[in-house]
Amino acid sequence: MRRHHYFIFYYLPFLLCVLSLSSCSDKDPITGPVPIITWKMSGGRFTTYTGETIMLVPDIENIDETTTYQWSIDGKTVGTADSYTFLSETTGEYYIAFHVTNKFGSADDEVKVTVKERTTELWPEIPRNDSTFTWKFPFTDINIPIGRDIHLRPYMQTCNNGVTYTWTMDGTTISNTQETVFTGTSEGQYLLNLTATRNDSILGTQDFTINVCPAAGVYRRNQSGASMVNKIFEYMPAPGHQVNGYIIVGESFPKGCSHEQACNIVLDHFRNRWMASLGGQGGYLIAGFDHSVPNKGNEYDLCIKGNPFNYQSEPGIIWVSQDVNGDGLPNDLWYELAGSEYGTTNERQEYAVTYYRPQDACSSVGWRDLDGAEDYIPYMSYWNPQPYYWQDWQESDEMTFFGTRLLSHHTYANGYSDIPPYDWGYADNYGSDFIEGAEGKMGYYHIQQARTWDGKEANLQYIDFVKVQTAQTGWTPNLGDISTEIYYIGEVK
């Protein structure tokens, strides 16, 4: 008995230790939050049209380095990214399963996409009848300073085979070509006319009024203490998912908003350095200062705030103008600020594009350019669930924008978009001139980069107005249309 007692006394601690270690090896597994799938606004229910892509982008919580994604239709895997681009050429209801896993577990959801046949085409039929001749012009009335010239031409012509053009001034023929250049050698008002004929039949006629004003400087205004523009004269965005109702910032413009109201809202946005989107290619705004902004040579003169990143730049062309007739309105000659791509194959001047109002709700917006190329601004319910991307103050069923186009060089792969910047000279662009400067981190620009229509240095001593215009076409499935965004325009003091 004593020997057994000593055995227990000496070996009991060892047995307790073994039991303790065994217990430790059988403890509960580590737990944590599993994925959670939600859908902004849509609730996972979407509507689109045959032949149009739609991007499915869920909000996913609790992702980690082990997270995987799987999209499947009828049990077949169709995607493994965190978003999925759906396209169908046939109508119907489609159910898409979505499965997400992380190291703690998984989550499942199902998306319903209803594909409809649209009642109207995105693009109206191009007239084929030779009698249906059409053309468009960026302006028909303009002010230029004495000594400057201006290039006049028609755009977006249809059925123009065999057409003869005749330019006249005061009843005298000055040109028999499609375009002409007028030089303001003397002050005064000049009336020009362009007539298009075929086989002695007049197809179209257009009058132009050109006011040749005093030399630049006569109406130059004194400096003030203000840096920011004090008036938005025009806010004419092209269709785009961020123009109004952008889900991150909410609706910017109330229902039934007039153009004047929209301009005042944009100016208020600039005061708070909030966003104003210009929509797709050609969309623009025109702003003015309460003083003339001088050309300071090699120093920066203007600053424009956008929201670019090195992987997502949406460049806009910058234009400047002088108030040469002194009426305080931007109805004068415009000069492009030459950026890094000016004069290269990456930039095309005298470009034009027309957008067509969709008749179907929740529809993309079709466009056609002066070459006949067609595409559309995609409807992106994830970013903007409003039924139409056509603004209330844009009353017509067509909108044509004229300006300069930059080559689109965006890419999209495996659920990720890349829109690289150009080197310098553009708004909302992550170039070398997107810097921390006197007015904060934004783009900084030189008036001395102003160019005339034929590429010559304009040599402007000052400017009064600034226009910024989206310069690229195109879109990516997860980001939507490429659209220049502006938060502020000012003078560098």
pLDDT, tens digit, for every residue of 306-318? 999 999 999 999 9
Q: Is the pLDDT of residue 7 over 70?
A: no
Residue 330 lies in a domain: yes
Pairing of strands 302-305, 440-445: antiparallel
**Cα–Cα distances in angstroms (integers) from residue 377 to residues 259, 366, 473, in the given order:** 22, 6, 9
Q: Is the pLDDT of residue 22 over 70?
A: no
Q: Is the pLDDT of residue 211 over 80?
A: yes
Residue 11 lies in a domain: no
Domain limit, last residue, from 59, 81, 116:
116
Residue 124 lies in a domain: no
The whole-number pLDDT of residue 129 equals 60
Q: Give one DSSP letter per residue of 204-232, joined into a string.
A: EEEEEEEEEESPTTTTPPPP-S--B--EE
What 102-106 contacts at long range (C-beta under 8 Å, 24+ apart), as own/partner pairs, is 102/34, 102/35, 102/62, 102/63, 102/64, 102/66, 102/67, 103/32, 103/64, 103/66, 104/31, 104/32, 104/33, 104/34, 104/62, 105/34, 105/35, 106/34, 106/35
Task: Report which DSSP code applies to 61.
Answer: E
What is the pLDDT averaged over residues 315-333? 98
**90 vs 16, which has greater pLDDT?**
90
Average pLDDT, the chain: 90
pLDDT tens digits for 34-43?
999 998 666 7
What is the pLDDT averaged over residues 282-290? 98
Residues 6+ apart with CB under 8 A from 444: 300, 302, 303, 433, 435, 437, 492
Rounded to an integer, what distance in angstroms lies between the CA atom of residue 148 and that of residue 146? Answer: 6
Phi, psi for residue 419 in degrees, rounded to 5:
-125, 85
Rounded to an integer, what distance in angstroms lies between the CA atom of residue 144 and that of residue 210? Answer: 7
Number of domains composing the chain: 3
Q: Is the pLDDT of residue 327 over 70?
A: yes
Closest among 127, 126, 118 to 359, alpha carbons compared: 118
pLDDT over 70 percentage in the chain: 92
pLDDT tens digits for 435-455?
999 999 999 999 999 999 999
**214 vs 412, which has greater pLDDT?**
214
pLDDT tens digits for 33-87?
999 999 866 678 888 889 888 888 888 999 999 999 999 999 999 999 988 989 9
Residue 166 lies in a domain: yes
Do both 71 and 110 map to the same domain?
A: yes
Domain limit, last residue, from 116, 143, 160:
116
Do both 239 and 101 map to the same domain?
A: no
- Which pTM was predicted? 0.86
Q: Is the pLDDT of residue 155 over 90?
A: yes
CA angle 152/158/161 to nearest 5° reads 90
Phi, psi for residue 30 in degrees, rounded to 5:
-70, 135
Do both 385 and 435 map to the same domain?
A: yes
pLDDT over 90 percentage in the chain: 74
Do both 81 and 173 map to the same domain?
A: no
Do both 169 and 245 map to the same domain?
A: no
Q: How confident is the model at residue 171 (pLDDT cuts 50, 70, 90)?
A: confident
Q: Is the pLDDT of residue 272 over 60?
A: yes
Do both 55 and 143 map to the same domain?
A: no
Do both 181 and 247 map to the same domain?
A: no
Q: What is the CATH number of the domain that holds 80?
A: 2.60.40.10
Residue 24 lies in a domain: no
Q: What is the extent of the structural domain holding 184?
A: 134-213
Do both 107 and 140 map to the same domain?
A: no
Do both 74 and 179 map to the same domain?
A: no
Rounded to an integer, what distance in angstroms lies between the CA atom of residue 39 and that of residue 58? Answer: 5
**119 vs 203, which has greater pLDDT?**
203
Phi, psi for residue 257 in degrees, rounded to 5:
-60, 135
Rounded to an integer, what distance in angstroms lies between the CA atom of residue 261 and that of residue 346? Answer: 36
Residues present in the chain in total: 493
The whole-number pLDDT of residue 24 equals 45
Do both 238 and 201 map to the same domain?
A: no
Both tokens of residue 7? 């055995």
